[in-house]
């Protein structure tokens, strides 16, 4: 029997599941990487581990040091668990619009939580800029800087992409996911293209993000909005630079919610909205590639993180999203 020697060894090597509904609907095989199975219950554990290991290797982080980061929550949870396992302190800056569950999880892990109002990136009070300032002012601290630190996408080039390739026996026609930092999309895209450049890499962008327009016509422009947490980017981050994107889809919250509900009811998977948007994107990519193709995507985090939001009818109604039909 295989036994992991510590918590950090539990990060990555997640299962891949064939999604029945999306596969039946498209005549393709749609597979999803179960990133909710990481110890922090999201894909961001991978980036957190690579960022901390990289800072240690560079001599930037030493025992007793502090890790500071601005995050929608999941990277903070990943960093806090890695920090606890290695003996560091964490300070996490997060927009106050994110789910209660993520805040409570961070507090339970012992992270110092700094909540800031949601603001555009151009505003100095934006959570990313606030976290950089706190890191600069804190002795023995590093700023994880997940958006521009390419240790993030390296976790997906060396980990996620390799795993998908092996789990699918090297037979894969397309991959798609949404972008927050872009680490997953760029890293998996680069890793898979290095194995087989014919694999189609697609961006699935929520409304309110600027990347769809950028990859479609070279201009960063956004329209509409989304309640999806952790995705929706307005600039080409360091991690997105050179990402091999072949095609792009714009996915509405309603379209993502259809899959969030269907995956729960039909397959017993309780997921966040970015996972629903990714599956909606995988269905679109499968249709574009044609019957018989093999497509992969990411199930980014657990829905238990959104019981007070996505799985709460009053919250859905307040956001103008319809509650599920009984
Ligand atoms: N989904 C969720 C729920 C997330 O928290 C994140 C990370 N911000 C993503 C998707 C996107 O991952 P990435 O940062 O690698 O683009």
Render pLDDT for 168-193 as a digit per residue (tens, 0 to 9): 999 999 999 999 999 999 999 999 99
How would residue 326 be classed by pLDDT, with cut points 50, 70 and 90? low
Mean pLDDT confidence for 297-314: 96
- Would the pLDDT of 1 be above 80? no
Cβ of 276 less than 6 Å from ligand 1: no
Is 72's C-beta closer than 6 angstroms to any atom of ligand 1? Answer: yes
Per CATH, the number for 43-147 is 3.40.50.1100
| Catalytic residue numbers, as ranges | 44
Q: For 225-229, what is the mean pLDDT?
A: 96
Task: Identify which of 74, 72, 50 has the alpha carbon closest to the alpha carbon of residue 232.
Answer: 72
Kindly state if the Cβ of 301 falls inside 6 Å of ligand 1.
yes
Spatial CB neighbours of 144, under 8 Å, sequence gap ≥ 6: 48, 51, 52, 55, 67, 68, 69, 75, 79
Q: What is the residue with the minimal CA distance to atom 4 of ligand 1?
A: 230
ipTM (interface pTM): 0.99
Whole-number pLDDT of residue 2: 85
Evaluate if residue 324 carries a pLDDT over 80.
Answer: no
C-alpha of residue 275 to centroid of ligand 1, in Å:
9
What residue owns the CA closest to ligand 1's atom 2? Answer: 230
Residue limits of CATH 3.40.50.1100 in the chain = 7-37+156-318, 43-147
Assign domain 7-37+156-318 to its CATH architecture.
3-Layer(aba) Sandwich (3.40)
pLDDT band at 322 (very low <50, low <70, confident <90, very high): confident
180 lines ligand 1 (CB under 6 A): yes
Examine the pLDDT at 73 and tell me if it is beyond 60: yes
| Ligand 1 binding pocket mutation candidate from 80, 202, 274 (most atoms within 8 A of CB) | 274
- Sheet-wide strand order for 89-95: 112-116, 89-95, 66-70, 141-143
pLDDT value at 38 more than 80 = yes
Strands, E assignment, the chain: 16-18, 29-34, 66-70, 89-95, 112-116, 141-143, 174-177, 200-206, 247-251, 294-299
pLDDT band at 314; cut points 50, 70, 90: very high
Please determine, for residue 51, whether its predicted confidence score (pLDDT) is greater than 80. Answer: yes
Cα distance between residue 213 and residue 52, in whole Å: 33
CA distance 143 to 166: 34
Q: Retrieve residue 257's tokens.
A: 């919610």
Which residue's alpha carbon is nearest to atom 7 within ligand 1? Answer: 230
pLDDT mean across residues, the chain: 97
Q: pLDDT for 2-22, tens place per residue?
A: 899 999 999 999 999 999 999
Residue with CA closest to ligand 1 atom 11: 180
The closest of 317, 223, 226 to 276, measured between CA atoms, is 226
- Report the side by side order of strands in the sheet with 29-34: 16-18, 29-34, 294-299, 174-177, 200-206, 247-251
Note the pLDDT of residue 42. Answer: 98
User: Count of alpha carbons within 13 Å of 225, Cβ hemisphere only?
Assistant: 4
Whole-number Å distance, alpha carbon 1 to ligand 1 midpoint, is 33
Centre of ligand 1 to C-alpha 175, Å, is: 16
Task: Say how far apart CA 53 and CA 24 lie, in whole Å.
Answer: 41
| Percent of the chain scoring above 90 in pLDDT | 96
Q: Roughly how many angstroms between the first and final C-alpha of the chain, as a whole number?
A: 44
> Which protein residue's CA is at the shortest distance from atom 12 of ligand 1?
180
Q: Ligand 1: which of 45, 149, 181, 302 to mutate, judged by most atoms within 8 Å of the beta carbon?
A: 181
| Closest CA relative to residue 75, chosen from 48, 104, 38, 96 | 48
The pLDDT of residue 41 is above 70:
yes
Atom from ligand 1 closest to the CA of residue 47: 15
Q: Which of 116-125, 196-205, 279-288 has the lowest mean pLDDT?
A: 116-125
Q: Choose which residue among 42, 43, 177, 181 to substitute to test ligand 1 binding: the one with the highest number of ligand atoms within 8 A of its C-beta.
A: 43
């Amino acid at each position: 029997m295989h036994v992991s020697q510590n918590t950090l060894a539990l990060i990555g090597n997640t299962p891949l599941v064939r999604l029945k509904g999306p596969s039946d609907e498209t005549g393709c095989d749609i597979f999803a990487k179960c990133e909710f199975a990481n110890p922090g219950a999201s894909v961001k554990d991978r980036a957190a581990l690579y960022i901390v290991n990289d800072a240690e290797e560079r001599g930037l982080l030493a025992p007793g040091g502090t890790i500071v980061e601005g995050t929608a929550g999941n990277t903070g949870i990943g960093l806090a668990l890695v920090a606890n396992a290695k003996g560091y302190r964490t300070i996490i800056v997060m927009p106050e619009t994110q789910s209660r569950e993520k805040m409570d999880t961070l507090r339970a892990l012992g992270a110092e939580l700094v909540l800031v109002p949601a603001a555009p990136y151009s505003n100095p009070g934006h959570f990313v800029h606030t976290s950089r300032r706190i890191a600069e002012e804190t002795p023995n601290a590093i700023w994880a800087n997940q958006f521009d630190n390419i240790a993030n996408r390296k976790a997906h080039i060396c980990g996620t992409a390799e795993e998908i390739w092996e789990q699918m026996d090297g037979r894969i026609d397309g991959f798609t996911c949404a972008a927050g930092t872009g680490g997953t999309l760029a890293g998996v895209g680069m890793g898979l293209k290095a194995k087989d450049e014919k694999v189609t890499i697609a961006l699935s962008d929520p409304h309110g993000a600027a990347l769809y327009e950028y990859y479609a016509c070279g201009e960063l422009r956004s329209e509409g909005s989304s309640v999806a947490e952790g995705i929706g980017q307005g600039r080409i981050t360091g991690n997105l630079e050179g990402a091999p994107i072949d095609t792009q889809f714009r996915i509405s919250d309603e379209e993502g919610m259809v899959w969030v509900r269907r995956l729960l009811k039909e397959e017993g998977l309780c997921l966040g909205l970015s996972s629903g948007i990714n599956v909606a994107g995988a269905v679109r990519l499968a249709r574009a590639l044609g019957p018989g193709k093999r497509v992969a995507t990411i199930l980014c985090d657990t829905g238990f993180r959104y019981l007070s939001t996505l799985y709460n009818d009053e919250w859905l109604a307040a956001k103008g999203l319809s509650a599920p039909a009984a």
